[in-house]
Structure 1
Amino acid sequence: MDRADGLAHYRKRFVGAETDLVYFDGNSLGRPPVAAIERMDRFLREDWGGRLIRGWDEAWMQLPFEIGDRIGRAVIEAKAGQTVIGDSTTVLLYKLARAAVDAQLARDPGRREIVVDSDNFPTDRYVLDGIARERGLRLRWIEVDTSSGVTPEHLAEAVGPDTALVVLSHVAYRSAYLADAQELTRIAHDAGALVLWDLCHSAGSVPVRADHWGFDLAVGCTYKYLNGGPGSPAFAYVRDDLQDVLAQPIQGWMGTADVFAMGPEYRPARGIRRFISGTPPIVGMLAMEETLAMIEEAGIGAIRAKSVALTSYAMTVADEWLAPLGVQLASPVDSEERGGHVTLEHPAMREVTARLWQQDVIPDYRDPGGLRLGLSPLSTSFEEVHRGLAATRDQLRAVLTERAGLA
């Protein structure tokens, strides 16, 4: 399978890919590209070290918009001027969600509900809970199975004339359920609601068509499949016709119409700039440019095909080796409903994960009993998946044997 893989040559472009370490956590923190280290070293020595403050007069001020447009073009299919690099995912979620509900309340004071599912990522739920308390709104919960996600039927039952905003994840962080983003967006719009999409587990792994699917707003992180590095800044998408309608709530100097006017009052910029607050995190943006170049070169369609092949292979091997040991699949079987990772459940997986880390096999763990295999298409090989699942089988057998002996 590795010999037949048209993207296999990208693996050698990542730090550590030549070692025996098995990395199953690309959906939490991607491997660094070799060229990103070279880029950052050059920046520190020449651009920052050489130009110092003069760097702002040249390229730095435009970097959030230039890289944002690159993400729009290569990753989420959005035309220029709608995507920007900004703060953390949490802060951008707050900005866009708060701006959306404020606009909806101004238009129709009766729209006092935010719809979100019970298994959405914790940050999404916590941010929305805080906004609901700030603005006197209600959260309308969609209860979902943790091994799947929000379906059109779920959403149709939840939205109505009281709905201001719907917040959903394109790929569920626990199960990897791939939502029908176009249909769910249509359902929300038919109810008069705005939609904010969390793209953290899809950006760079699953095709997104933000413009074509009619997205209003979206946020995505850059340290997973975009390999931006620990805590690299997130991106925000705001559809162009909403940009001068929404008032973002964290008013900072970088979002003003004239950044260096230093005037007595806040005057928001037109367009996507108004969604920036403070000084752009320039160093944090650099590493992701190398992966964006690879995505542009390979094409998101080919990357998705490799992702499906990797997750399907992992499921096949797990069914043969791990299912007889009591492991259950907690991700969709149908690849049309599955993102870029696979979750395997067993009550012993927390202990198994700890043991695997000690032997340089790195999955991650999510309650209840879920071992997640995050298979980043550009840096993961099929042989790596095989070795990692063999180690998982061996460690699970060892734990079960020890527990049986204690009993």
Structure 2
Amino acid sequence: MSEPRLRAKELDAADGLAAQRAEFLLDEGGGGSGGEAVYLDGNSLGALPAAVPGRVEDVVRRQWGELRIRSWTEEGWWTAPERIGDRIAPLVGAAAGQIVVGDSTSVNVFKAVVGAVRLARSADTAAGAAGPARDEIVVDATTFPTDGYIAESAARMTGCTLRPVPPSGIPDALGDRTAAVLLNHVDYRTGRLHDLPALTAAVHAAGAYVVWDLCHSAGALPVGLDEHGVDLAVGCTYKYLNGGPGAPAYLYVRAELQDRFDSPLPGWNSHAEPFGMRPEYAPAPGALRGRVGTPDILSMLALEAALDVWDGGVTIEAVRAKSLALTDFFLECVEAYVPEGRVECLTPGPHGERGSQIALRCPDAGDVMKRLIERGVVGDFRHPDVLRFGFTPLYVGFADVERAARVLAEVLAEVLAEPGT
């Protein structure tokens, strides 16, 4: 047995989170011609937690099928958005009462960015600021495209100019015209982890408000929203939180800002008297202001069941430690198996700059990933030349990592040996 395989066995034997793997339904024998399946695409869609199918069946057959409308009160459907938000809160370093679950990430980005602009302007008005109006939204120039689209629309709606800036240039780009800054915690292409504490402090020093997109960090590493004074944050729940395809996203509004948060999407669900059916809008107190319309109960309660995997003492700190160990070991295995120069790692080496994925560049990445998937090693491809491998510590083991690197080396050798390559 090769040295990396022996090392994988040792690491798996010492893994304090190894038992969590049983909490998921994994295709252990679905690896095609190469053995067991290795699922390294949890940064796109998390695996299915074992508790979800039975819970969803109960929601459909009993709660909807038998209790019907009584379930809004008897089964807690009405309070699900804030109840589930409170379960997510510890995973992102937030106290209860600051997160509401519902809508998509894109919709929540829109609420948060427009809300941040309004917060900045209302703060200046309250302080009697004599300087120029805050009319600029700064956005991470490397952001996921949708965030950029939403920020541009929010800028039009609020009469702001949109200014794309790389995260490293954010502190120097801020000024007295900056109203809101939208940033990704982890770069979706490269897995680079940006410095949330320092960037948040820089935004605040300029008198602006920050919105963080946590899609690629929540459930994989500590975030510290409360500790670092983050204003607003959004995130999806179908990646490292394993909520399922299309699972509802969430919106965080810091407690101190909730009474001034002015959502651009006021709906009956966020009204102070939702069943009063009044023509005039009056916002509900607290995080409830982030609600809009009727909650997506089926997907929301599937997410609630998925969050059970965090019960029983699993901490985000332990998950982060294993995430770093998995990504370190993957890079070691790639170095051991793949000829030098065949791939280029785009993910930073220092732990403080790395999320929970590894991005490798190679010229034939699309074909390589297709062949990897055929052999049961599932990652994903990002145009034009990036292989992405996501490491979800709750169900990925070190033997998975070793096998993925070994099969990658085999596929790369095949592709290189083919005529015309």
The residue type equivalent to 1:66 in the other structure is: R
- Give the alignment partner of residue 376 of structure 2, picking from 360, 380, 387: 360
Corresponding position of 1:129: 152
Task: Note the 1:222-261 alignment, pairs <5 A.
Answer: 222-261=237-276
Is 2:353 the counterpart of 1:337?
Answer: yes
The answer as to whether partners of 1:103 and 1:245 remain within 8 angstroms in 2 is yes
- Greater displacement, 314-323 / 297-306: 314-323
Task: Note the 1:189-200 alignment, pairs <5 A.
Answer: 189-200=204-215
Equivalents in 1 of 2:339, 2:204: separation in Å? 42
Q: Secondary structure at the match of 2:360?
A: strand
The residue type equivalent to 2:294 in the other structure is: T
- Give the alignment partner of residue 187 of structure 2, picking from 155, 166, 172: 172
The answer as to whether partners of 1:227 and 1:287 remain within 8 angstroms in 2 is no
Give the TM-score taking structure 2 as reference length: 0.91
Give the TM-score taking structure 1 as reference length: 0.94
Corresponding position of 2:100: 84
Equivalents in 2 of 1:275, 1:14: separation in Å? 31
Question: Unpaired runs of 5+ in structure 2?
Answer: 1-10, 30-35, 125-131
Equivalents in 2 of 1:135, 1:81: separation in Å? 28
How far did residue 103 of structure 1 move? 3.2
Corresponding position of 1:146: none
How far did residue 7 of structure 1 move? 0.5
Equivalents in 2 of 1:356, 1:278: separation in Å? 42
Q: Secondary structure at the match of 1:61?
A: coil
Corresponding position of 2:128: none
The answer as to whether partners of 1:175 and 1:343 remain within 8 angstroms in 2 is yes
How far did residue 295 of structure 1 move? 2.4
Q: Deviations over 1:142-175 (max 9, x none)?
A: 23xxxxxx23xx2211111111011111111111
Corresponding position of 2:310: 295
- Greater displacement, 351-360 / 56-65: 351-360
Q: Deviations over 1:333-360 (max 9, x none)?
A: 1112101100011111111011222232
The answer as to whether partners of 2:117 and 2:179 remain within 8 angstroms in 1 is yes
The answer as to whether partners of 2:51 and 2:306 remain within 8 angstroms in 1 is no
How far did residue 244 of structure 1 move? 1.7
The residue type equivalent to 1:350 in the other structure is: G
How far did residue 330 of structure 1 move? 0.3
The answer as to whether partners of 2:136 and 2:179 remain within 8 angstroms in 1 is yes
Equivalents in 1 of 2:161, 2:342: separation in Å? 41
Is 2:287 the counterpart of 1:277?
Answer: no
How far did residue 17 of structure 1 move? 4.7
Equivalents in 2 of 1:238, 1:391: separation in Å? 44
Is 2:137 the counterpart of 1:114?
Answer: yes
The residue type equivalent to 2:405 in the other structure is: L
- Greater displacement, 384-393 / 156-165: 384-393
How far did residue 261 of structure 1 move? 0.9
Corresponding position of 1:60: 77
Corresponding position of 2:235: 220
- Give the alignment partner of residue 111 of structure 2, picking from 95, 108, 132: 95
The answer as to whether partners of 1:22 and 1:361 remain within 8 angstroms in 2 is yes
The answer as to whether partners of 1:92 and 1:236 remain within 8 angstroms in 2 is yes
Equivalents in 2 of 1:325, 1:401: separation in Å? 16
Q: Deviations over 1:286-333 (max 9, x none)?
A: 233344333242111111111111111111111222352520110011
Task: Note the 1:37-76 alignment, pairs <5 A.
Answer: 37-58=53-74, 59-73=76-90, 75-76=91-92
Q: Secondary structure at the match of 2:334?
A: helix
Equivalents in 1 of 2:119, 2:335: separation in Å? 49
The answer as to whether partners of 1:228 and 1:286 remain within 8 angstroms in 2 is no
Equivalents in 1 of 2:414, 2:302: separation in Å? 40
Corresponding position of 2:20: 10
How far did residue 85 of structure 1 move? 0.2
Question: Unpaired runs of 5+ in structure 1?
Answer: 144-149
Equivalents in 2 of 1:291, 1:322: separation in Å? 36
- Give the alignment partner of residue 308 of structure 1, picking from 314, 320, 324: 324
Q: Secondary structure at the match of 1:115?
A: strand
> Cα RMSD over matched residues?
1.5
Corresponding position of 1:29: 45
How far did residue 234 of structure 1 move? 0.3
Corresponding position of 2:33: none
Equivalents in 2 of 1:102, 1:51: separation in Å? 42
Q: Deviations over 1:1-22 (max 9, x none)?
A: 1111111111122112533211
- Give the alignment partner of residue 283 of structure 2, picking from 233, 246, 268: 268
Is 2:216 the counterpart of 1:201?
Answer: yes
Equivalents in 2 of 1:197, 1:270: separation in Å? 22
Q: Secondary structure at the match of 1:155?
A: helix
The answer as to whether partners of 1:352 and 1:399 remain within 8 angstroms in 2 is yes
Equivalents in 2 of 1:289, 1:390: separation in Å? 36
Equivalents in 2 of 1:366, 1:406: separation in Å? 23
Is 2:416 the counterpart of 1:406?
Answer: no
Task: Note the 1:141-160 alignment, pairs <5 A.
Answer: 141-143=164-166, 150-151=167-168, 154-160=169-175
Equivalents in 2 of 1:117, 1:99: separation in Å? 18
Equivalents in 2 of 1:198, 1:158: separation in Å? 19
